[in-house]
Amino acid sequence: MTKMKLRTEAWLLRGISSLPGELALMNGTLTYFVAGTGSAWPWQLRKLERLLGVSGLEGGVDTGRRVKLFSEPVAGVRAWCPWYYFGGGIKIAVRGVTLRFSFGTPANMKVRRRHLGAGGALQDVADNLGEIVLMRSRGKLWQKALQKAAAE
């Protein structure tokens, strides 16, 4: 029986663009599934395909399928959380490529409530604070899980 150690939403950050997906750690293997195009352009998807040696990323996410971007044993990856991520994201070096992940939805992908007046603005602030707490808690989970997996 396969036991999942950790699986969360994560956004792959590529310059000013981002791709929604899911980061998963299972049986000592780290995997990222892309679940949509997010704000990435087709050329950025093709570049990721070339960098990581995968195929079908651009066509797959355009049709709504989840596409596996990478799946590597933890021993073959390097993961760290820079101080300026404040625990809400992680960098992962896989196949010689450094990828940046955020555990929260990037600001340019959120629907704003500005048209709702002061009440909407206050709700935006509350939502953003809640998102920060969620991001940091996911970051802590990932740091512990990856350290444990690397030690096994």
Q: What is the mean pLDDT of each run of 10 residues along the chain (152 residues)?
A: 76 92 95 92 92 89 87 94 91 95 78 56 67 88 90 82
Range of 100's domain? Answer: 4-151
Q: What is the pLDDT of residue 133?
A: 83
CA separation for the pair 97, 115 (Å, rounded) = 41
Whole-prediction pTM value?
0.84
Q: Apex CA 99: angle with CA 94 and CA 103, to 5°? A: 120
Q: What is the DSSP string of 78-123?
A: EEE--GGGTTSEEEEEETTEEEEEESS--GGGSPP-GGG-HHHHHH
CATH number of the domain residue 111 falls in: 2.30.29.30
CA separation for the pair 69, 54 (Å, rounded) = 7
How many domains, in total, are found in the chain? 1
Q: What is the pLDDT of residue 1?
A: 41
